[in-house]
Every structure is written in structure tokens, then in C-alpha cells.
Structure 1
Amino acid sequence: MSFLSRDLAIDLGTANTLVYLKDRGVVIDEPTVVAMRRDTGAVMAVGLEAKIMLGRTPEAIRALRPMSDGVIADYEVTERMLKYFIIKSHGRRFFVHPRVLVCVPSGITEVEKRAVRDSATHAGAREVLMVYEPMAAAVGAGLPVHEPGGNIIIDIGGGTTEVAVISLSGIVTNTSIRIGGDEMDVAIDKYLRKTYNLLVGEQTAEQIKLQIGSAFPLEKKETMDIRGRDIVEGVPRTLSVTSTEIREALSEPVSAILRAVHQTLEQTPPELAADIVDRGIYMTGGGSMLRGLNDLLHRETDLTIHLVDNPLTTVVAGAGRILENPDEFRKVILSENRR
């Protein structure tokens, strides 16, 4: 396999899309959002510019997320977004046809794989290869994936959480659930509706999570003033919420992540389980940055928890390393006949 310098690795995430250009590194890191005109379907904005429009568009424009739960929800919009990112990553006005390595959830179905392949092909890729996200994350975290030893990685993205035990360039056992950072935002929104009859936008819910959200009791309770619309009165309203309340709101998605970890550990062969006791658990992805999640996982598993450096870019960095060293990582790339 011979990759040319224009070839790309893409972490096509529910929340953000990152693009790695061979020999240059990460060149795109933008929200997976597209704004379009309703009447003509013309693309108005992509990425950060489009995300700012979420919840703020007039009737003639719609801003949407073409990915849901880690997979393609809107095929046509995803294709147009990919084409935009491919052109932008090369900094050229004329179109190029790169070979593309796409990171996909380990729980992806064959139909969903086909959608990824077709979307990238129609966006201009001359060849589409895939790698499972937890494998790319493990490579990006610097784990010895080729060795006959157990390495466990948790990748908490926007739409999915991937827990995988890796040995000898393969995934030995894994659990993939369609719960991640976005589901945490939804949980906060639901809590505020139920408890305070307050309706907030998804960006506000995300800010609450980032500012005072936690999975484990904080040393000092924190508060945050939030603004939304009163469901009963129909008028704007401001109220103060505490970190304790938000931790309660996040309990359901956090518990689902814990169950996924326990399920994976229970399925791990004894010899690899012994390796994991020595090496601990590696955690990456935007959701891994939820405060106290590492402490909660340590309490629940009694294992050392390592939060990977630069968790937001671990997957695409790993895919980039695979892109740069295709012969070394040939076994981790999914072929048409490998599942």
C-alpha cells in the first residue's frame, strides 16, 4: 500500500470532524455541522461558522448535524461536508482525489460502513479505507497494539463510547454504545425541563456540562447562572444551578458508560486481564474530560486510570500515524472482507 502526500485520515465524529493530512498533521478540527438554504439546498456554512447558527437560524436556513450516534444520519449533507473539508485541507481551489482513511465505530453495521464508503467516494475520494475508532485511539495514545498483551482503551466521543481490549493488532473484545458527550447534553436539557420547566439550547447545555459538570463529587460545590425560556410562561428566564444538580442529571449516561466498561472487562480473557491490572485503563475522547470521571472509574474498577494527553485529537492522531506507516499497521486497516 503506497500512500501519496495528498492522502487523508478523517475522524468523522458526531460532534467534531478532524482531518489529518499526510506529512502535515491535523489540518481541520471543526464542528460536524452544516448550514443550508431550505429552498435551494445551497450550503451556507460548514463547521464552526455553521455551529454558531444552531438554534439561531431564520426560516429560510437550517443548521443541522449530519452525523448521529457516530454514524451518518444524512447521507447527502455528509457527502457535501466531506467534499468541503477535503478541498479545505489541501488549501486548493481545484479538486483533488485523495485516498482516505476513515475512523468508524467498532459497533458499526455493514449498511453503515457502506454509507461511509459511498459518501466519501462521492465526495471525491479515489479509495476509502477504514479503521475502528478504538484501534486508532490506541495507536494515537502510543499503546503497543502489536504486542501480545492486553491494552484497554475507552474512547468517549460525541455520539458513541467505545471500550476495547486490544492485542496483536486486533480487537479481542469490545463494547460500543451509542452514548457520549451529546447524550450528556441531552440529559442536562431533560433535567432542566423536568425540574425547572426551563428550555435551553444544545449549546447552552454543553456549556453547563463543560463549566460545572462532573461524574464524581467535587471538592467544592459550584454554581452557574443559566438562561433559557420558561416552558409555562413562555418568557426568557435566568436561574442558578449547582454542580451537584448537574452531576445528578448526568448520572444516567455516566452509568451507561460504567456498564460498558464492566461488560468489556467481564469478557476479557484471563491472561489479558492480568496485563490490564498492571497497565491500567487508558481513556480518551472529549467525553473523557468530564471532571471526576477518572476518579469514578477508579473507584468502580480498582484499576489505574490514565487520561491520554490531547484526548480530543487522539483518534485522528492515531489514524494519521497509520496513514504515515501503512506497512507497520496493515493489519489494523479494515478491508472489504474483514469485519
Structure 2
Amino acid sequence: MLTLLRETLGRFSRDMGIDLGTANTLVHVRGKGILLREPSVVAIATDTGKPIAVGEEAKRMLGRTPSSITAIRPLRDGVISDFEQTEAMIRYFIQKVYRRNALLPPRVVIGVPSGVTEVEERAVIEATRKAGAREAYTIEEPMAAAIGAGLPVSEATGSMIVDIGGGTTEVAVISLGDIVVSRSVRVAGDEIDEAIVNYVRRTYNLSIGDRMAEEVKIAIGSAYPSGPDKQYEVRGRDLLSGLPRSALLTSCEIREAIQEPVHTIVEAVKMTLESTPPELAADIYEQGITLAGGGALLEGLDKLLTRETCMPVHVTPDPLCCVVLGAGRFLEELDANPAMRRALRGGR
């Protein structure tokens, strides 16, 4: 009776699915869709340690703050590096979309990397509860991404998802509603940006910021040659004179600069395929590999993976939203199909 009452009341609460990413946080509210998409950045006052800005406003401060303010990203490689500021950030995002006249506080499902430790997972759950959630659960990001991408995860067939986020790349083979084989590497969008920063520093004696590197990646970055060579002007500080200076980069140079992190991602996919049972490998060969996450938007990555694996590779229509859509859909179906609780971790 208590379980039935809880499930009935749950239908009246605005339950949330959250993609708590290293670079961006997205929030899906039951019955409303995606209501929030903001950078995972917090600006704090140096003397008090209290947050003064969160999300988009805080991101604009990165690299531009005086000594009295520090803009940080409280998550690194997909996990919490600053518990207090992560809690403040989650609270801000929940309160921003939470309907205060709701009958109950929301249940929250948060996507976490498949390689997360128990300590890191408990930190996410504890931060979410302290931020105002009635119940907090975690779901592995590749499972959430596969659900969000519309893959037949509950069927007796193999589906392969590659979720490339800001801090981690998650590769998983899923069948019958569970992950059969998975691999998580802490190389993704941030490492690609860092590779561009290091290349410009090494080749042009020019220091650029992470935001500039990200702009370069989006504008002319590619993992596989296609079409004419593109150019992009970067601006930064000359390491010799200390004065502002610019340099003109080409897409060929950027492809060379990011070769190492891209190779790591490709190897993670190949090693996962090598560990996949033959029957599931046959299914993947027929259906192909699905790319999700912001890193899936890197031009030519699907072509490179096709060449390296000899399998068809598809990019989902909305790769940035796959994890949060999957977490949201999972919550919507949870009451109708309680057996799906086995895919949840912790927070019970």
C-alpha cells in the first residue's frame, strides 16, 4: 500500500532527469521536456567561498575574473571534484526549473560515467539530496544515452553506443535492458581542447585559453579529412613578448593537434568490440555504432570510426541531449514498469 501511494504521488511531482556533465548540465522535467541547458560552471567569492553566479553567467567570467572572484568547473572527468560547489550548482539548477507549488519535491535521476567509483557515485547522490531532491538515483550514462537515442535497449539484440562528453568517453554494448560490455576513458572534449592549446603554444609560441580552443574545435576541427582546408584566426598572448597577438590556423593543423585524444577514443571503441560476445557483435555489424554526446559533432569522427572498425557509424539527430532525454524517458516509464529499477544505481 505504501509503495502504491508513493507511486501515485510520484505522478504529481515534477520528476527530473539530469545530465550532470563536465562541460554542460541539462535538466529534463517530467511532462515538460528539457527546460534547462547551462554550462557546469560556478563563480565563487574568494574570501567567503560562496557562489555568486552559476551557469551561463559564470561561464562568461572564466579567465576574466579579478582576484576577488574565482570561476571554476566543479566537475572533472565526469565526477565531482568540488563537492560544496557541485551541491550549490545542482540546487541552483533544480530551483530554477522546480515548480514550488508541486505536491512533492522531485525525484531525480542523474547520469554518471560507467567507470564511476562507489565513493564518487555516493557523492553525486548526496549532493542531489542536499540540493532538494526527494529521492536521488544514478543511471549509467551510456544506458541513458542509448535510451535517449532510441536504441532497442530492452530487446534481445546488441546495441552499441559511444557517448563522448566533456570529461569522459563512454562505450557500451547493451542487450536485454542491461550493459553487457563497457569501457570508460577519461579522454573526451576537454582533452581535445587541451591538445589544441598545447599545439598552438608549441608551434606558434602563443598562449590561448580553453574557450578559444573550443571555438577553434567547433569551427575547423575534424578527425578525418573531408573537403577544402579551412582557416580560423586565434588570439592570445605571445609567450616571448607578452603582448597580444593572433595566428591563423588551418583544419589540417588542428587534425594533427588532436590526433592523440581522438586515437584514444577510437581505441576504446575497438577494445570494447573485441570484448563483445560474437552474437552481439553480429547485431552491431548489422545495425551499426551510434555516436552521442557533444564530441560526436566533431567533423569526420564517424568516418574515421567507420574506417577503423569496418562498421556503419551513425550520429544521433540530437547528440547533446541524448543522456538527459534518456534519463527523462526512464523516469516517465519507471512507474509503469517497476522492473526498470534494476538499471538504477543507489539512492533507494
**Is this a same-fold pair by TM over 0.5?**
yes
User: C-alpha offsets along residues 169-225 of structure 1, whole Å, 9 cap, x if unaligned?
Assistant: 110001100111111100100111111111001100000000000000121001111
Q: Which position in structure 2 is the counterpart of 1:188?
A: 196
Q: Which position in structure 2 is the counterpart of 1:221?
A: 229
Q: Which deviates more from structure 2 when the two are superposed, residues 197-206 or residues 2-11?
A: 2-11
1:334 to partner: Cα distance: 2.1
Match of 1:87 among 95, 99, 108: 95
What secondary structure sits across from 1:273 in the alignment? helix
Q: Which position in structure 2 is the counterpart of 1:209?
A: 217
Q: Which deviates more from structure 2 when the two are superposed, residues 183-192 or residues 34-43?
A: 34-43
Q: Which position in structure 2 is the counterpart of 1:120?
A: 128
What is the distance in 1 between the residues matched to 2:38 and 2:123? Answer: 21
Q: Which position in structure 1 is the counterpart of 2:143?
A: 135
1:154 to partner: Cα distance: 0.3
Q: Which position in structure 1 is the counterpart of 2:329?
A: 321
1:332 aligns with 2:312: no
What is the distance in 2 between the residues matched to 1:331 and 1:95? Answer: 27
Say if 1:336 and 1:128 are closer, same or farther in 2 by CA, change over 3 A: closer
**Residue pair 1:214, 1:247 contacting (<8 A) in 2 also:** yes
Q: Which position in structure 2 is the counterpart of 1:268?
A: 276
What is the distance in 1 between the residues matched to 2:110 and 2:147? Answer: 14
Superposed counterparts of 1:16-165, under 5 Å? 16-90=24-98, 92=100, 97-165=105-173
Q: Which position in structure 1 is the counterpart of 2:178?
A: 170
What is the distance in 1 between the residues matched to 2:201 and 2:252? Answer: 17
Match of 2:239 among 231, 241, 253: 231
What is the distance in 2 between the residues matched to 1:277 and 1:21? Answer: 35
Superposed counterparts of 1:240-251, under 5 Å? 240-251=248-259
TM-score, L = length of structure 1: 0.96
**Residue pair 1:87, 1:93 contacting (<8 A) in 2 also:** no
Say if 1:336 and 1:30 are closer, same or farther in 2 by CA, change over 3 A: closer
**Unaligned segments of structure 1, at least 5 residues:** none
1:335 to partner: Cα distance: 4.0
Q: Which position in structure 1 is the counterpart of 2:266?
A: 258
What is the distance in 1 between the residues matched to 2:155 and 2:344? Answer: 17
What secondary structure sits across from 1:325 in the alignment? helix
**Residue pair 2:136, 2:347 contacting (<8 A) in 1 also:** no
Q: Percent of aligned positions with the same letter in both sequences?
A: 54
What secondary structure sits across from 1:41 in the alignment? coil
User: C-alpha offsets along residues 97-131 of structure 1, whole Å, 9 cap, x if unaligned?
Assistant: 32111110000001101111111111121211111
**Residue pair 2:125, 2:347 contacting (<8 A) in 1 also:** no
Q: Which position in structure 1 is the counterpart of 2:308?
A: 300
What secondary structure sits across from 1:323 in the alignment? helix
TM-score, L = length of structure 2: 0.94
What residue identity is the alignment partner of 2:343?
V
User: C-alpha offsets along residues 50-94 of structure 1, whole Å, 9 cap, x if unaligned?
Assistant: 101100011100100000000001000000011111100125499
Q: Which position in structure 1 is the counterpart of 2:19?
A: 11
What is the distance in 2 between the residues matched to 1:99 and 1:306? Answer: 33
What residue identity is the alignment partner of 1:44?
I
**Unaligned segments of structure 2, at least 5 residues:** none
Q: Which position in structure 1 is the counterpart of 2:287?
A: 279
What is the distance in 1 between the residues matched to 2:103 and 2:210? Answer: 34
**Residue pair 1:15, 1:31 contacting (<8 A) in 2 also:** yes
What is the distance in 2 between the residues matched to 1:23 and 1:191? Answer: 46
